[in-house]
A and B are shown apart, each in its own frame.
Chain A
Amino acid sequence: MKIGVLAVQGAFREHMATLAAIGVEGVEVRLPADLDGVAGLILPGGESTTMRRLIDRWALREHILELGRSGAPIFGTCAGMIVLSTEISGGEEPILPLLHAVVERNAFGRQLDSFETELQVPILGDTPVHAIFIRAPIIEEIGPEVDVLARLDDGRIVAVREKNVIATSFHPELAGETRFHRLVATMAAEHADPGEGSGRRPHPIRRAKAES
């Protein structure tokens, strides 16, 4: 099983290193052909305006949307969260709208407002996540199918999941935090080789597709 890391710009090498640290093969994705055979995709931090240019120019958009719709896990950190949201506050066109949410770019301000903190993410257990926020976005509103995975003390949403799509405002890949990547790898393994047929349980998205 391989997991792609969008490598058009940003901190993709840190995600590749995190995947290597948990024993998962990562693939740098710059062109549609690089997506062949990946069971999931990570969208790194970087500049979303730059990623938009590079995603558009080489027709990655349709291929990534298709991968997301197939049920493969898609994990976006920081700029990746912006890239995945269906609405960008301020009116920019969405880029890869797979996550039903309204996202605000640079929600905390400029670089001087970038910060680190310890964050409770119950889905990952009781040990807090060391979260690094760099000119980070937040989720302002969520659709009915979106689960909140983490909030700041003031209630602002900084990590979400909608079915196979996960997004965080912060950077687990900069903090030596591997649990999100393990979760994504688990979901990707399930997507690549679902339990269906072995009598265990249905895969929600594949089952829905098979029945329709």
Chain B
Amino acid sequence: MTVETSTWATKKGLAQMLKGGVIMDVVTPDHARIAEDAGAVAVMALERVPADIRATGGVARMSDPAMIEGIMAAVSIPVMAKARIGHFVEAQILEALGVDYIDESEVLTPADETNHIDKHAFKVPFVCGCRDLGEALRRISEGAAMIRTKGEAGTGNIVEAVRHIRTVNAELRRLASMREDELFVAAKELRAPIELVREVARAGALPVVNFVAGGIATPADAALAMQLGADGVFVGSGIFKSEDPARMANAIVQATTHFDNPKILAEVSKGLGAAMRGIAMEAIPDAERLATRGW
């Protein structure tokens, strides 16, 4: 019996198991336990939640390995951790720790303004952010086994997340309607490999799971993302910057499952206390927008 580990099917497969679920940003093992108890399908370890990165500024890096190990020991669900864009040594360290997924994330300060990490070189699977289909396909061709639309992290404002998931899905529909001989130009415009563009055009869907991230702050936000075609959601600051994180977390889990049942959405949205305060996009200077990081 031959046994193969870290295959494309196992990398992509873990993300398939997370579908219909909520992945929650956590900073400490205590956060991780709260998230697991509330029904998170996985936790994302990072140094500071995006709202704090935004507030305090400075360089945001991979989390302390001791903290990540503490989180891995605290919960039985998968643990993801963030590395800076292009920082393949942070990724090597995360792989050595044995995390279940690495997020090459624009939420941290990029380490390389030209190249992303060669994700094929790793045994651990990667998730990457995108704003449109071209960006998603470039990340997949670099080896990402899961995609998330970026939204604008740390804002509690869903508007960018909506823009990004709508854009990706509209471009998918457009690609699926093209003639075979139009795909060459489409690949050029998407700046993505033609083989991958052909496969996606044929399937009418991305070859990997796509979650929505960046700005989800309420159960209704999560359900909106799901109705727009997300496979699941990432919630960052929206949980631990709300008044009652455990309740908000559980309500968002319920809403992600019952995303197309308004009666249940009404039920789970009652009496949750204040959601995170949030920021209007106009209040964020272009230079401070996280979604524009990544190329």
Contact = CB atoms under 8 A, between A and B. Distances in A.
Interface of A: 7-14, 30-31, 45-47, 49-50, 53-54, 57, 78-79, 105-106, 109-119, 132-135, 152-153, 171, 174-175
Interface residues on B, range: 35 or more
Contacts of B18: 46-47
Contacts of B125: 111
A41 B123 CA distance: 35
Interface in B55-75: 72
Contacts of A45: 16-17
A46 to B, nearest CB: 5
B91 to A, nearest CB: 13
Contact of B10 (A46, A47, A132): A132
B19 interface: yes
Contacts, number: 126
18 contacts: A9-B19, A10-B17, A10-B19, A10-B20, A11-B16, A47-B42, A50-B21, A50-B39, A53-B39, A54-B257, A109-B98, A110-B72, A114-B14, A116-B4, A116-B9, A134-B10, A134-B14, A135-B100
Given A78-B17, A114-B13, A132-B10, A46 B4 contact: no
Contacts of A78: 17
Contacts of B3: 115-117
Interface in B75-92: 76-78
Interface of B: 1-7, 9-10, 13-14, 16-21, 36, 38-42, 72, 76-78, 95, 98-101, 123-125, 250, 253-254, 256-258, 261
In the A-B complex, the 6 residue pairs with the smallest Cβ-Cβ separation, listed nearest first, are A53-B39, A111-B100, A114-B10, A9-B20, A47-B41, A115-B5
A79 B17 contact: yes
Contact of A9 (B7, B10, B95, B257): B257
